[in-house]
Amino acid sequence: MLKEKLSPFLDRYNEITKLLSSSEITNNIKKMTALSKEQSELTPIKEKAENYIAVCSSIEENKELLDDSELGELAKDELKELEAKKEELEKEIKLLLLPKDPNDDRNVYVELRAGTGGDEAALFVEDLFKAYLRYAELKGWKVEIVSSSEGSAGGYKELITLIKGQGAYSRLKYEGGTHRVQRVPQTESQGRVHTSAITVAIMPEVDDVEIEINPNDLKIDVMRASGCGGQCVNTTDSAVRITHIPSGIVVTNQDQKSQHKNKDKAMKVLKARLYDLEMQEAAKKNADARKTQVGTGDRSGRIRTYNYPQNRITDHRINLTLYRLDAIMQGGLFDEIIDPLIAHYQAEAIKEAGL
């Protein structure tokens, strides 16, 4: 019963309230800060719980009045409103009771790579990046290109961007996987539809203290930057390639003119990848218990298809198809894809938690 599951939260909230008023705690700033933070986190559950308990009590009271000749009809009408309110509160409380993803409030690295399709895949990397960029602008997030490698016919073979803003990871964490595009390439003279694919990796930005890297595990190479760029390209050894020997992860950065800045950015991306790797390994260990682990799993799996001739976008994980591809790629309607994904995974998590 939901009321029974709420009791420990209410008891803990009341316990903290008493502790915060005791002289032992008021003289201990560190302890008081920790308890205040915990109480703040419990407040939404506490408020919803009290409201829920009050509604349940009102329902019981009105049920007792149903047979009353004078108040029966009034109680019946009020019961309808109370039952609807109770159902809505139950949904809200179940979401509050779910374990919070510790990465939700972090900034996010979005890594796009061209896959099957050569030049056309590289062009779609740029198109999808622009869609994410417009979506970020609408959300008030800041976007920083960390590293890029241009395609021979335009677009990008690889593009790594850091998106900074409240809730950036929580909104974009479902974008990881293979994105397939079906359209007529610019170079196609006979109007045939080609299918190509790109991969997207989503990685939360991590603090230095969270990922410790043994310097002996790194192989760092410096080289001349290549490809399109500023005046300093090919004149100084500013590009940096870092290889993490134990994992085999390789990160290259050449976007900055300074070798120091390139190394710093490459290290940040490396830490994000290592953290992401830890999350994936942890998810695999719990695969039997949690089959719907959000944001992890098989990154090679096809998650979405963008069909330009039919103006159709399909998310295969939740069997969602929308015929507004053009508008969604403008960024403004991206929530029409993201909101159903969030609702789906929340529903799965509630089911698994037995709430």
* Band of pLDDT at residue 355, cut at 50, 70 and 90: confident
The least confident of 265-269, 303-307, 335-339 is 265-269
Rounded mean pLDDT of 98-117? 88
The residue length of the chain stands at: 355
- Concatenating the DSSP letter of every residue in 263-303 gives HHHHHHHHHHHHHHHHHHHHHHHTTTT-TT-TT-S-TTSEE
In this prediction, residue 202 carries a pLDDT of: 92
Q: Which of 28, 197, 55 is nearest to 125 (CA)?
A: 197
d(CA 35, CA 158): 45
**pLDDT tens column, 45-75:** 999 999 999 999 999 999 988 888 888 888 8
CB atoms within 10 A of CB 162: 21
In this prediction, residue 295 carries a pLDDT of: 38
d(CA 196, CA 124): 9
The pTM of this model reads 0.74
User: In this model, does residue 180 exceed pLDDT 90?
Assistant: yes
Most confident residue range from 25-29, 192-196, 209-213: 192-196
Encoded tokens for 57: 């009590």
Residue 83: its H or E element: helix 72-97
**pLDDT tens column, 264-295:** 888 888 888 888 887 777 666 655 443 443 33
Residue 159: its H or E element: strand 156-164
Rounded mean pLDDT of 107-123? 90
* Beta bridge partners of residue 237, listed in sequence order: none
Percentage of residues in the chain having pLDDT higher than 90: 40
Rounded mean pLDDT of 31-55? 91
Residue that wins the pLDDT comparison between 148 and 320: 320
CA angle 298, 303, 304 (to 5 degrees): 160
Locus of tokens 């944001």: 295
Taking each helix axis as running N to C, give the angle between helix 2-20 and helix 72-97, from 0 to 180 degrees, rounded to the nearest 10.
70
- Pairing of β 218-223 and β 108-114: unpaired
Q: Which of 274, 277, 234, 232 is nearest to 251 (CA)?
A: 274
DSSP, res 208 = G
